[in-house]
Chains A and B, each alone.
Chain A
Amino acid sequence: MKPLEAVNDFVVKFANVNGSGSASANELFARSILRMGVPVSPRNIFPSNIQGLPTWYEVRVTEKGYLGRRGGVDLMVAMNPQTWDKDIKEIEPGGYVFYDSTRALPKSKFREDIHVLGMPLTEICNSTYTDPRQRQLFKNIIYLGALSALLDVDPKAIEQLFSEQYKGKEKLLDSNVKALYLGRDHALEHLQCPIGLRVRPSDNVGDRIFIDGNSAAALGAVYGGASVCAWYPITPSSSLAESFQSYCKRFRVDKETGKNRFAIVQAEDELASIGIVVGAGWNGARAFTATSGPGISLMSEFIGLAYFAEIPVTIIDVQRGGPSTGMPTRTQQSDVLACAYASHGDTKHVLLFPEDPKECFDFSAQALDLAERLQTPVFVMTDLDIGMNTRLCQPFEWDEEQAYDRGKLMTYERLEAGADFGRYLDVDGDGIPYRTLPGTHPSKGGYFTRGTTKDRFARYSEAGPDYVDNMQRLQRKFETAKTLVPKPVLHSSSQPARFGAIFYGSTSPAMLEAMDLLAERGIPVNALRVRAFPFADEVVDFCNSHPWVFVVEQNRDAQLKTLLVNDSNVNQSRLIPVLHYDGTPITARFIVDEIVRHAAVHSVVPIKKVVS
């Protein structure tokens, strides 16, 4: 079998044991390629476990900058005997396996059509290090060194990363550099370097940054002015609150007094987390919680209260595989309906769908504005794929000129001047009433907040007309939300396209790559990235202007499609669901295959013959 040959376009997958210290070495590998100007897209595929179970790290090297998961593996770094057979099976024909050859493996353990690269890693470690922990940790750095030789990765790039990481810790720096060259030199001496897969310096990274979505969302919350964060640990959102804590320690400690301009409470459960956020929002502080699907289920009662009592709340939902405990460490977009209609009774909530860390930053900050402007819960619908993987994205930006939108706050001065205050009075016709904060005025503007029905002046009322009046105003408010949320982004095909595709969130890189591949196959597709619910009119127009529209999602039940049909009166027969929900991030290959299949069913003859 001819070995695979590719420059700056291949997939390396690391199969490791959880807790073996491989994560940082693997990330160094990805970063070193970035430093060579070649885009990479890494993904952690990890178990719900701290130590012992299998974990993988997949790095897609992509000159063209396709940041979605590609599928398939060209080089497997097989460091985990538990998953050996499965890992070997996954390698593309002509691909490579790199493994620890200290103990000989029978021939039956390999495949005829792959190329085997063995290095006695354990032996090298045992003869170099005496401390068992060092033997384990440096094994990762040694294979990193070997890979630099095998793939033509510049060792100077890795050294540079070491020196940034171990600034001021010279001893650690030296020992890591030593281990790196131990592996590199051994490979250069004993293996044929480089192999068919190579990294060539390029200039395609630009000024983009490399960060995970949870950190980005946390930073967005800091910039957006959140001062209260209440949360309960849950994968995959925990690192968001922890990241908020570390950014706050950096940016929100008063230099003179040493006191914090933030309060973070790790609550006893998700009910308390959202309760604290509701209390803080009611009292005028910007507050948020970060959670995942099971947390949303628990928070639902409070979400209904915040909707009905009209309290600003920001919820960042880092979605994982559901239902129930589901797949805690796998990705999905399966909370869309649960969040859009969270809680009993007639409720509807604002959802924002970030595509990457940059938008996690932007939307988290914007959600805090929207929540106060609309006095309602606002959800940032990220997911594990964006949240827990470092992703290349545009640098963060902040407009100093733009003030926080505190919404309609009735002040002491206005009350004193005799302003007519009714807590649920629609003064401006946009469905958004004015609110006062507790303690504003000694005798005016006080009111009783409740989850029960009330009249325009916040007085308890179960009278039908009062109830209907209030519910209709809430509906008007939702219409107003439509004009305030981020607009959809259109990606037009360069050729006239009969098919449209709607997508959102982490599907973005796979969809954009699929558009290119489909165009090559003669199936041009216009794609619209939905960034918020309620849907802007552009979304409905897009659906109406294409005979068929694929709705590409990462859930089983076509949840966004349901929302489109339910809430925007889009003709259901135009919409064709493309659904990926096995817990792995959706790939361009999957989207292309599905669309090609449907395109054939809808009797469209491709211009070029389909090759698949």
Chain B
Amino acid sequence: MTYIAKPKLHHPTLPANKIGFTRRDYEGKISTLCAGCGHDSISAAIIQACWELDIEPHRVAKLSGIGCSSKTPDYFLGNSHGFNSVHGRMPSVLTGANLANRDLIYLGVSGDGDSASIGIGQFAHVMRRGVNMVYIVENNGVYGLTKGQFSATADQGSKSKRGVVNSDSPVDLAALALQLGATFVGRSFSGDKGQLVPLIKAAIVHPGAAFLDVISPCVAFNNHTGSTRSYEYVREHNEPVNRIDFDYWPKREEITVEYPEGEVVSVTQHDGSVLRLRKLAKNYDAHDRITAMNYIQQHQAKGEVVTGLLYVDPDPEDLHRHLNTADAPFNALSAGDLCPGSAALEKINASLR
């Protein structure tokens, strides 16, 4: 972390996006996390993704639970409303916020302790309900703020900094999200911005429950030999299945980047946007939930970390669709929209005599 605030002034040639904002406009307060923390890289990726997508910063609502990861919404999109709720309960707060105003973008940020232990129930049910959101878990396998206890995503047999070996089976949140009905599931690594930024962008654009499990090494408590969440381990065992080459949606120009060779698959989403996936793993089909689940489990058994866009449903449904809610945000409805009035009440009275 740094104690010195970046000056508000910036270089005049710092590029502005379509709506006139520079990347600096998407920044937040100075991070109070440890220097080298993976979470700060994810915050930077979120900033980059929002800037590239030309999102008005105040149209994003940031929600989180408790823990190192849940502090990060203070460190990006400083003009957005944020809500640091209670431990493990971000999903329900996000659900309520989403119901109140369907017009904002909802970004939930959580950690592995927050989502896989205390909050696993809410994690499960927010996926089941298909809340339109981006749910990012900054997954480091430990409780950072309380100084290095194992979390529920820590691999069995992995060793803590104090030398304790974890004997419990790990929770794989991406596999869980797949099983529970999330319509967009990806996994990435905080150290691979090239993979992470497009994934976040695609997740934001996805009109349904989008989940990203981002391995984010804890430099203070889980970056040693014997850990399966260290920078070194994840780099060595990273098995990307695909790469989002570029993304396209109406009113936007294509952004093209050079990537390794491989087959390119286009995924047209409900709103007309197109995701182009460059296949890195042969025979991997990101449209098939069951295959995705099998693939992840098989590679997990080999100690590999499967990353990339694991699954996407191009025509997802979300909670608002399930509840058949009106198009207007609820928080803008007036008494005229909500109150049946005194004449209707007289009728009710008459029926109760």
Residues of A within 8 A of B (CB): 34, 205, 207-211, 219, 222-228, 230, 251-252, 254, 257-265, 267-269, 271-287, 301-302, 305, 309, 395-400, 403-404, 436-443, 446-452, 460
Contact = CB atoms under 8 A, between A and B. Distances in A.
A268 B121 contact: yes
B4 interface: no
B125 A261 contact: no
Given A210-B352, A265-B323, 18 more contacts: A225-B338, A227-B338, A254-B326, A264-B323, A267-B125, A272-B122, A275-B91, A275-B95, A276-B92, A279-B63, A279-B95, A282-B100, A285-B101, A301-B86, A302-B89, A437-B81, A437-B331, A449-B82
Contact of A283 (B91, B100, B129): B100
Given A282-B93, A282-B96, A395 B349 contact: yes
Interface stretch (B52-60, B235-243, B293-301): B52-60
Contacts of A398: 339, 341-342, 345
Contacts, number: 228
B92 A275 contact: yes
A307 B57 CA distance: 28
Contact of A261 (B61, B73, B103, B326): B326
Given A209-B349, A251-B340, A279-B98, A260 B324 contact: yes
Contacts of A437: 81, 101, 331
A256 to B, nearest CB: 10
B327 interface: yes
B274 to A, nearest CB: 28
B58 A442 contact: yes
B348 interface: yes
Leading 4 A-B pairs by shortest Cβ distance: A279-B96, A275-B92, A284-B331, A285-B100
Interface in B64-86: 73-74, 78-86
Nearest to B340: A251
A422 B108 CA distance: 25
A305 B85 contact: yes
A64 to B, nearest CB: 20
A438 B86 contact: no
A440 to B, nearest CB: 7
A228 B100 contact: yes
A228 B122 contact: no
Interface in B130-180: none
B5 interface: no
B59 A439 contact: yes
A396 B74 CA distance: 47
B24 to A, nearest CB: 13
Contact of A446 (B79, B103, B340): B79
B104 interface: yes
Given A272-B125, A285-B331, A279 B97 contact: yes
A222 B341 CA distance: 10
A600 B133 CA distance: 67
B85 A436 contact: no
Nearest to A459: B29
A397 B349 CA distance: 9
Contacts of A268: 121-122, 124-125
A448 B73 contact: yes
Interface in B1-52: none
A272 B105 CA distance: 21
A541 to B, nearest CB: 35
A260 B323 contact: yes
B86 to A, nearest CB: 5
A438 B324 contact: no
Contacts of B282: none
B266 interface: no
Contact of B99 (A207, A219, A257, A280): A280
B95 A265 contact: yes
Nearest to B346: A395
A271 B82 contact: no
A223 B56 contact: no
Contact of A263 (B79, B85, B99): B99
Contacts of A440: 58
B93 A222 contact: no
Contacts of B330: 227-228, 261, 263, 280, 285
Nearest to B88: A271
Contact of A396 (B323, B337, B345): B345
Contacts of B125: 267-268, 272
Interface in B102-126: 103-104, 121-122, 124-125
A257 B325 CA distance: 10
B96 A261 contact: no
Interface SS of B by simple majority:
helix
Contacts of B302: none
A204 to B, nearest CB: 13
26 contacts: A211-B352, A222-B339, A223-B340, A259-B324, A268-B121, A272-B95, A275-B85, A279-B94, A279-B100, A280-B96, A280-B99, A282-B100, A284-B101, A285-B96, A285-B330, A287-B100, A302-B86, A396-B349, A398-B342, A404-B335, A404-B339, A436-B81, A440-B58, A448-B82, A450-B83, A451-B86
Contacts of A277: 96
B333 A261 contact: yes
A276 B95 contact: yes
Contacts of A211: 352
A463 B85 CA distance: 21
Of B59, B84, B353, which is in contact with the most chain A CB atoms at under 10 Å from its CB?
A: B353
B255 interface: no
Given A263-B323, A439-B104, A209 B93 contact: no
B58 A443 contact: yes
B344 interface: yes
A379 B324 CA distance: 29
Contacts of A460: 74
A271 B92 contact: yes
A285 B280 CA distance: 45
A261 B89 contact: no
Nearest to A448: B82
A273 B95 CA distance: 10
Contacts of B95: 230, 265, 272, 275-276, 279
Contact of B97 (A252, A283, A286): A283
Contacts of A260: 323-326
B97 A219 contact: no
Of A252, A272, A437, which is in contact with the most chain B CB atoms at under 10 Å from its CB?
A: A272
B79 A223 contact: no
Contact of B341 (A225, A262, A400, A449): A400
Contact of A439 (B81, B84, B333, B335): B81
A283 to B, nearest CB: 4
A272 B99 CA distance: 14
Contacts of A280: 96-97, 99-100, 330
A283 B330 CA distance: 9
Contacts of A226: 338
A205 B344 CA distance: 22
A228 B319 CA distance: 13
B63 to A, nearest CB: 8
A558 B349 CA distance: 36
B76 to A, nearest CB: 11
Of B58, B101, B320, which is in contact with the most chain A CB atoms at under 10 Å from its CB?
A: B58
B74 A448 contact: yes
Given A209-B352, A259-B325, A284-B100, A252 B338 contact: yes
A226 B335 CA distance: 10
Contacts of A210: 352-353
Given A223-B339, A268-B125, A449-B84, A279 B92 contact: yes
Of B73, B78, B104, B333, which is in contact with the most chain A CB atoms at under 10 Å from its CB?
A: B333
Interface in B223-278: none
B84 A448 contact: yes
Nearest to A404: B335
A209 to B, nearest CB: 4
A534 B331 CA distance: 29
B99 A438 contact: no
A263 B97 contact: no
